[in-house]
């Protein structure tokens, strides 16, 4: 089963004046987001990058990569939406989108966290045990 990833991205040079500069500051989050997807999602089909407010893609991005599809917002909907949750309502219009896809923002990352590893389950058991008895100890002292 192949999975597509959709990443919302806005260029740091495209700043709306009434909002904080920290909201749109570029710390190369997109680069690390793409790297984490390539590393931890082996059944990746394509990465679709939605350019917010029709901004330009970063200079380091290889636009010739076959697994990469860069889309301007105006290709999906008009007028351009400022609400990022509203934008997601139009993701189904992306051409050649697989049946299964994951949506990201540029500051979301995947990692190699195995929740069902036996040691993690043991930690979870002890955590719940301590949490349960900590309230009892609190009442005693």
- pLDDT tens digits for range 65-88: 999 999 998 899 888 777 778 888
The pLDDT value recorded for residue 33 is 93
Alpha-carbon distance 13 to 2, whole Å?
34
Q: Please state the pTM of the whole predicted model.
A: 0.73
Contact predicate 101/91, CB 8 Å = yes
3 state DSSP class of 130: helix
**Residue whose pair of structure tokens reads 């997601």 in the numeric block:** 88
Q: What separation, in Å, do the N-terminal and C-terminal C-alpha atoms of the chain show?
A: 55
For all residues of the chain together, what is the average pLDDT? Answer: 79
Alpha-carbon distance 44 to 67, whole Å?
9
């Amino acid at each position: 089963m192949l999975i597509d990833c959709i990443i919302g991205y806005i260029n740091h040079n495209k700043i709306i004046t009434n909002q904080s500069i920290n909201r749109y500051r570029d710390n190369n989050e997109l680069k690390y987001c793409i790297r984490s997807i390539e590393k931890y999602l082996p059944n990746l089909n394509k990465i679709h990058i939605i350019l917010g407010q029709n901004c330009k893609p970063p200079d380091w991005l290889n636009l010739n990569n076959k697994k990469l599809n860069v889309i301007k917002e105006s290709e999906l909907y008009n007028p351009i939406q400022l609400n990022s949750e509203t934008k997601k309502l139009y993701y189904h219009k992306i051409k050649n989108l697989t049946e299964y896809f994951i949506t990201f923002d540029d500051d979301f990352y995947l990692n190699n966290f195995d929740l069902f590893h036996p040691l993690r389950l043991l930690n979870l058991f002890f955590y719940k045990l301590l949490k349960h008895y900590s309230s009892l100890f609190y009442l005693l002292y």
